[in-house]
Amino acid sequence: MTLQDVQNIFCVGRNYAEHAKELGNEVPDTPILFTKPTNALAIADGQTLNYPSDQGDIHHELEIVLKIGKSSDSQSVNDRVVEMALGIDLTLRDLQSTLKKKGHPWERAKGFRNSAILTPFWSFSSVEDIEHTTFTLKKNGETVQYGNSTQMLFNFQQLVDECDQAFGLGEGDIIFTGTPEGVGPISDGDVFTLFWGEEEKGSFTVAFNK
């Protein structure tokens, strides 16, 4: 996968009830959608990624990411999604809280450089197969987040339908499908590793700008 393959980045907020509760947010009745610019993309290929040190806490959010294939007459997720990955949606949490209080959009807290981290993509088999596998994020060797797609408030089909209706979906578009509980701040020197089941899919190291 190259970053140029990705066309649009659509994201889903509060799609796991326990995550919504841990941040003191209401559990939504319909999917909360937002976007990130493609300039936010980075690959979890073992590299060191740089972040601002003067904008408050930056929180990690582990997610399953779906990649849309060529247009199809079928609206089924099993036909429209061709690949999947694990991703980290990073959030400038202090800035997001300030923006929310003012009723402003979240993009400044969500769309900064290296805030949409992706493992390499692999073939999407089926919704049913994915339900049997847990995904995990480890920070410095310790598990900080784990989840399963069956815990989502809105399933893959609902998310694809909602994004298609709201924005239109085309080949190369990706969807960050929401994060389970356990989000927390990143720190200078942290090493993050992403697992699908027992298989390591990607990693990266955090460096704060001096």
The domain locations on the chain are 3-208
Q: What is the mean pLDDT of residues 145-167?
A: 95
For residue 126, give both structure tokens: 């089926």
Mean pLDDT of 168-172: 94
- Measured between alpha carbons, how far is 13 from 126 in angstroms, rounded to an integer? 23
Residues 36-39: contacts with CB under 8 Å, at least 24 apart: 36/9, 36/11, 36/89, 36/107, 36/110, 36/111, 36/115, 36/116, 36/176, 37/9, 37/111, 38/3, 38/6, 38/7, 38/8, 38/9, 39/111, 39/113
Q: What is the pLDDT of residues 68-111, one digit of tens each?
A: 998 777 889 999 999 999 999 999 999 998 998 999 988 999 99
Average pLDDT over all residues of the chain: 93
Higher pLDDT among residues 25 and 58, named by residue? 58
3-208 is classed CATH 3.60.15.10: no
Q: Tell me, what's the pLDDT at 137?
A: 98
Residue 25 has pLDDT above 80, yes or no: no
pLDDT at 146 over 80: yes
pTM: 0.95
Q: What is the mean pLDDT of residues 52-60?
A: 95
* The two structure tokens encoding residue 87: 């991703």
